[in-house]
């Protein structure tokens, strides 16, 4: 059986184990291409249980149509879309994205937290 190629870095290495073993519970992603690699990486991280976000002004996509679709997908998954200044506030623990609060509430409602 041939291994399926993914557009995400989350499963291609030991990143999940490394992050969790260091107590990291949140992931902010950015880069090229927002509508392909970044999208799949943050969705995968989100599916693994990390609170996730994308730094939009530090990312670039290939097409406006795909960028809009990516934003819709991220929004539906409670993945925060932030600018660099809000990302800094998150990293410094001054702010928490509302999407993360919604995600945590969903986990509580489902008995997963």
CATH no. for residue 103? 3.40.50.850
In contact, 80 and 100? CB cutoff 8 Å: yes
Mean pLDDT calculated for residue range 105-111: 90
In contact, 95 and 67? CB cutoff 8 Å: no
Give me the residues paired with residue 81 across strands.
Answer: 54
In contact, 54 and 82? CB cutoff 8 Å: yes
Question: Whole-number mean pLDDT of the chain?
Answer: 89
Residue 7 falls inside a structural domain: no
Residue with tokens 């995400």: 8
The pLDDT value recorded for residue 8 is 63
Residue 8 falls inside a structural domain: no
The pLDDT value recorded for residue 6 is 57
Is residue 59 scored above 60 in pLDDT?
yes
Residue 53 falls inside a structural domain: yes
Residue 20 falls inside a structural domain: yes
Is residue 9 scored above 70 in pLDDT?
no
Domain encompassing residue 19: 15-109
Residue 2 falls inside a structural domain: no
Q: How many folded domains does the chain comprise? A: 1
pLDDT band for position 4 (cuts 50, 70, 90): very low
């Amino acid at each position: 059986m041939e291994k399926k190629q993914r557009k995400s870095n989350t499963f291609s290495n030991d990143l999940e184990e490394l992050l969790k073993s260091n107590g990291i519970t949140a992931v902010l992603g950015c880069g090229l291409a927002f509508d392909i690699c970044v999208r799949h990486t943050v969705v995968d991280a989100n599916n693994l249980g990390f609170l996730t976000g994308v730094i939009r002004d530090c990312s670039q996509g290939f097409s406006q149509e795909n960028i809009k679709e990516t934003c819709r997908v991220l929004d539906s998954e409670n993945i925060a879309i932030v600018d660099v200044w809000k990302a800094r506030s998150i990293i410094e623990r001054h702010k928490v994205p509302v999407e993360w609060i919604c995600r945590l509430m969903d986990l509580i409602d489902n008995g997963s937290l």
